[in-house]
Structure 1
């Protein structure tokens, strides 16, 4: 027993302690400026001459309205997949598409690309656009947005916000992120580079969850594009240059609360039935003949009322409109009377002034000159 313990102790001493990340050592090609680590090389079939060991198959369902389009364009899909050694099948009865590898398949990742292709086709992406996903530099992302919002009305409004008026917001996002975007139902299908898809996913989720409006993301992307043109700011943090948008509380419509009625333990009075109303009016005790005649009279009265109303509407088209000339004439006549009276007054005034001038004209200057009196002279001679 002691010997076993001694051997176990020797074994533990012989074992070297494990160091975390011991393989994360700098490699000689890490700092080589001639190597582009982000470059995606095109697959060469010589890298995998033996081919695939097992058959891999993927299948996906498609909606019924896509059946006719897929049937017409399936030869194009088949031709594109055949170049990469992939077989495809379209089942219109069960409504699904499937892709699988063959003995000629050399690229192990092409089956994943083929799976993305049939997913995009089922999400209403055009065939000639979806085939581009088979290229090495093109990736795809299908963003599910249906379960991010509970209310159906809010979901529709926010989805429309993402599209924008006349798809202007969607076009701006496509240009800035370099991705193809298609909003269809509860999903957003996108195709592009890894960087663009990451930006687009964040924008879509922020829009549907009401975190930030897409227009703010577009402004930030525009500023980043301008900053990228400056080589001096290539290795600096851009946070100080980017705008910071604060979320504003928009006042929502207040729901009108119903007025609470005072609590009463007794139930409300029962409304009167048809028989009770007949008993009140006395119709219940009338004979069948009298009831039918009364109904006929009421019907005739309603018809007469309706016919009178329709006749009044017909006659209204033949009633001449009121002329405004009479009002204008009366106004004119009143104005004319005022003018005539004013003229009379002015003429009377002028006539008075003229008569005064005539009286002054008869008086001559000689009448004011004193003449010698004869009687006075005679008296003076007598006095002498």
Structure 2
């Protein structure tokens, strides 16, 4: 039962922010140094080796302020962070663990260092296991980015988070409320719900939050409700039925003939084993002969000489000469006929 004894405290005034996170300082650690050493190690891919080697001094300087030691093993391909005698904040080793995790996921070093701040958290969303088909996975992952990265930029502005889509994961950095929204958008996108619906919803919520009168009300009446519609992509039905009026007959349709009935009609059923094999062999040989004949004709076409412009003129001359000779022969025959007739 909650206490009913309510009395104003002298230190509880309106100018105090109760939700403000105070930074943890060395003097706040009354217990002194840690009794045991804590360490975390993360492997990184080969292509990140050059970048990490160049940016490692910046990471070392940032972790030294918190009293956390870090090592980069290029032989094994791993990054390690561990507590030292100078570590005073118990949560700093967890932030350092998140730092090396983000560096391994291709987050730039200046951006990853922001995880050491108190109000910044990170979340690595694994998206590959949500979809089996690789083509669908690539398409839906591209939806998070949008055309020229516009959808990703809109999500970053609305949630206040840094988002990086890399390989099979989505790395996010920002406040806890924003990380929750980003995870919901990414998971719904992998479940075939377009991120633009969530972008519209977040934009409406952002405008409603500015109105102090609606701060304590339910916003469901203002938010859009999108119905899921499963439309078939087939324009032609799979089975086309004839809807024309047919003559009514009380008798059922004739039964379809089985494979054995068709063999009996063709006479194949009564053939012996050797005759069947001979028939199949003849069919194969006939198909082979047709195929060889077609290939032979294709090979012969390569040796046919192309037509030249001079050949056409010669053909025309030959035709003219042939026609003239034919006319002379016809005239000679007609003369012979007349002479014989007179005789």
In 1, distance between residues paired with 2:105 and 2:236? 39
Question: Which residue number corresponds to residue 157 of structure 2?
Answer: 175
In 2, distance between residues paired with 1:178 and 1:138? 11
In 2, distance between residues paired with 1:262 and 1:218? 61
| Cα deviation, residue 217, structure 1 | 0.7
Question: CA 1:47/1:28 → structure 2, altered by over 3 Å: closer, same or farther?
Answer: farther
Question: Unaligned stretches of 5+ in structure 1?
Answer: 1-20, 282-297, 320-384
Question: Which residue number corresponds to residue 301 of structure 2?
Answer: 305
Pair 1:246-2:227 in alignment: yes
| Cα deviation, residue 214, structure 1 | 0.8
Q: Where does 1:225-240 land on structure 2 (aligned, <5 Å)?
A: 225-240=206-221
Pair 1:154-2:136 in alignment: yes
In 2, distance between residues paired with 1:202 and 1:109? 27
Pair 1:217-2:213 in alignment: no
Question: Which residue number corresponds to residue 89 of structure 2?
Answer: 107
In 1, distance between residues paired with 2:218 and 2:7? 27
TM-score by length of 2: 0.69
Q: Is 29-38 or 147-156 further displaced after alignment?
A: 29-38
In 1, distance between residues paired with 2:40 and 2:257? 66
The counterpart of 2:189, out of the listed 187, 199, 207, is 207
Question: CA 1:230/1:123 → structure 2, altered by over 3 Å: closer, same or farther?
Answer: same
The counterpart of 1:117, out of the listed 77, 99, 117, is 99
| Cα deviation, residue 277, structure 1 | 3.5
Deviations 1:230-282 (A, max 9, x none): 22222222111111111111324599989xx987489xx879679x749x97x
Question: CA 1:155/1:100 → structure 2, altered by over 3 Å: closer, same or farther?
Answer: same
Question: Unaligned stretches of 5+ in structure 2?
Answer: 240-255, 264-275, 290-294, 313-343
Q: Kindly name which structure, 1 or 2, has the bigger radius of gyration based on alpha carbons.
A: 1
| Cα deviation, residue 196, structure 1 | 0.6
